[in-house]
Homo-oligomer: A and B are copies of this chain.
Amino acid sequence: MSPSRALLGDRESRLLLARIAEPYDEKVQELVSVHGITDLVGYAVHDGRTPEGISLERLRARLERARAVDEAQICRALGVSVVVPGDEGWPAPLDDLPDPPWCLWVRGPAAPEEWSGRSVAMVGARASTAYGDEVAARMAYELAERGFAVVSGAAYGIDAAAHRGALRAGGTTVAVLAGGVDVPYPRANADLLSVIGDRGAVVSETPPGGAPARMRFLARNRIIAALAGGTVVVEANVRSGARTTAKVARELGRHLMSVPGPVTSVMSSGCHEEIRLGATLVTDAAEVAELVGRIGADLAPVRRGEGRAEDVLPPETKRVWQWLRPRASAGVDELMVRSGLGLGEVLVALSELEERGMAEQLLDGWKRRAGR
């Protein structure tokens, strides 16, 4: 209707908005909720005001430089990708946020659609104790062993211990950064972030090159909470930033868990307060898995108003489906080994999955597809 609409598509609008505005800017959030991203960015680019005449001056400060950026070239140069809602790699759980990221940069081999359905956020104090580090590392290790991705913020203390525990188990771990995915922060964790980028995923809503500014940390915490099926607070004093992650987890109806500690330790005081406010006390990975695993299987489908495609599969077919990967194809022989089923059973399962659009045969084997 307005001529400005045609200027940029949804994807380009989102990428541009991420460069010209801050996701935690409430004024911008309000404008987005009124006009939608495409129109809003269109108005900003066109003449810097909405049809009602409201000035969009704050969206034009960085506009010229932002329009000169070649996102595709940057992604290629850095070896990262960027996803927006609707993309195959977009982590659907982010849509539960009242203010989801406009886009998400991803560095590393672990694609969001692979881990976002089975993940646990582990957060806590930077000034953690040896007790907290030990519990975080062990819990992350055992969650990774159970196939859960461990999501955290790459900070000192509990965050780092959780990432390291998951890596030690050979599992998937995801670091959500406040700055760009190419800006290691804190510096002392640069090596850790490098390993996570090689074996897991480093993600951010801040464009590459962006600095980890203070307000971005709070905004970042909502992504950690939203990405995971549940959040565990391992150690936190009563005013810890980890508790903002806990708050979002609670608001989103995610499972919120907390690890107790000595009542004499201030680093457990925030955890105890969370438990008194309703968080589930957890002492090990099994208790976390029981809770978060259940959400994946039972609660999430109800909340989304529909079942998952795999819920209706016969047991053997589901077993084969679970061993298919969206990105790497696997041969029938390999699937027999992985699933522990016979040739006939695997072939029957694959043909059923193909019929349902949940698997596809390529030259070098079979891959998972989203289904329906």
Within A257-288, which residues are at the interface with B (CB < 8 Å)? 259-264, 268-269, 272, 275-276, 280-281, 283-284, 287
Whole-angstrom CA separation of A264 from B269 in the bound complex: 17
Q: Are B259 and A263 in contact (CB under 8 A)?
A: yes
Interface size class of A (residues with CB under 8 A): 10 to 19
Residues on B with C-beta less than 8 A from A280 are 276
Whole-angstrom CA separation of A134 from B275 in the bound complex: 22
Which residue of chain B has its CB nearest to the CB of A131?
B262
Whole-angstrom CA separation of A262 from B263 in the bound complex: 9
Whole-angstrom CA separation of A283 from B281 in the bound complex: 14
A306 to chain B, nearest CB (A): 32
Q: Are B283 and A272 in contact (CB under 8 A)?
A: yes
Q: Is A135 part of the binding interface, using a Cβ–Cβ cutoff of 8 Å? A: yes
Q: Are B264 and A281 in contact (CB under 8 A)?
A: no
Residue-wise interface mask of A (160-202) relative to B, using a CB-CB cutoff of 8 A (1 in contact, 0 not): 0000000000000000000000000000000000000000000
Whole-angstrom CA separation of A97 from B288 in the bound complex: 37
Residues on B with C-beta less than 8 A from A259 are 263
Whole-angstrom CA separation of A284 from B284 in the bound complex: 25
Q: A272-B283, A275-B275, A281-B281 are in contact. Are A135 and B263 (CB under 8 A)?
A: yes
Which residue of chain B has its CB nearest to the CB of A134?
B264
Q: Could you list 9 A-B pairs, sorted by A, with CB under 8 Å?
A: A131-B264, A135-B263, A260-B261, A260-B275, A260-B281, A263-B283, A272-B283, A276-B280, A276-B281
Residues of A bordering B, CB below 8 Å: 131, 134-135, 259-264, 268-269, 272, 275-276, 280-281, 283-284, 287
Apart from A260-B261, A263-B283, A276-B280: 18 A-B pairs, beta carbons within 8 A: A131-B264, A134-B264, A135-B263, A260-B260, A260-B263, A260-B268, A260-B272, A260-B281, A261-B262, A261-B263, A262-B262, A263-B284, A269-B283, A272-B281, A275-B281, A276-B281, A276-B287, A281-B281
Name the 8 nearest CB pairs between A and B, nearest first.
A260-B260, A263-B283, A275-B281, A272-B283, A276-B281, A272-B281, A261-B262, A262-B262
